[in-house]
Amino acid sequence: MPPGGPKTKKPLDIVVKFALSVFVGSFALIWGGMYLSRPDRSIPPYTVGAQSGQIVTTDVPRGTTDKEIESLVKRFRKVGHQTHDFARMKIHPTTPGDPGGPYRQIMIYVFDDHGWTDPDMLKKYMAGDAAVVNDYARSMRGYYRLQDQEEEGGVGPIPKNGHMSSDTRILFKGRVTDSLPAEAEPEQGKPISPF
C-alpha cells in the first residue's frame, strides 16, 4: 500500500511548454497583424480607377453619403497640407520630375459609379466628347484640386469656367500654406479586435 501523503504535481514537459508558447504566440501575432493592418475607417473605402497626367479618378461604394465624401476630400486636403505626398493615398506622381515636387498639381475626382473611373471614359472626357462631358460632370460626387499652392475641394460636381452647379458645395478654397481649421477627428468605427 502506497503512503497516504500529498501527491506532488509533475512539472510540464519542455515540449508541452514549447507547444503552448507557439500556440499563444501565433494568436498574438495574428491579432497584432490584424490590428496594425486595419483599414482607416474615418474615410470611406475608395479605389483609384484611372490616372492621366494630373487628373485622378477615384471610386467610392454606391450609397456613400455626402458626409463621407466630405471626409475623404478633407483627407486629401490634409495630405496636401502636411506632406504634399499622395503616394500613401494610392496615387502615382502627377508631376514626375518636376522640381516643385511629384504632386505639385493634382485634380482628384470622386465618383460612386465605377464606370466613370474607367480609363477609356477619362480619355473621352479629356478629349471633350460631347456625349460624355455633361454626364461625367453630373456624376461627380466630390473633387480636390491642387495647383501649386492653391487648393479647392468640394462635394458635388467641380465648377467649370466659373459656373457652379446647384449640387456643388465648396468645402474649402485657399492656399496650402494656410493653417488647417481645428476639427474634431471623425470616429474610427468599431475596432476589429474583440479585446
Total tally of structural domains belonging to the chain: 1
Instruction: Identify the domain containing residue 81 by its residue range.
Output: 47-175
pTM over 0.75: no
Spatial CB neighbours of 175, under 8 Å, sequence gap ≥ 6: 149, 150, 151
Residue 105 and residue 144 in contact, taking contact as beta carbons nearer than 8 Å: no
Of 122, 103, 100, give the one whose Cα is nearest residue 48: 122
Does the residue 170 lie in any domain? Answer: yes
pLDDT in tens, 162-185: 677 778 888 898 888 778 776 644
pLDDT in tens, 101-148: 888 899 999 999 888 999 999 999 899 888 888 888 889 999 999 988
Residue type, 178: D
Give the C-alpha separation, 113 to 120, whole Å: 14
Does the residue 25 lie in any domain? Answer: no
Beta partners for residue 107, in sequence order: 55, 145
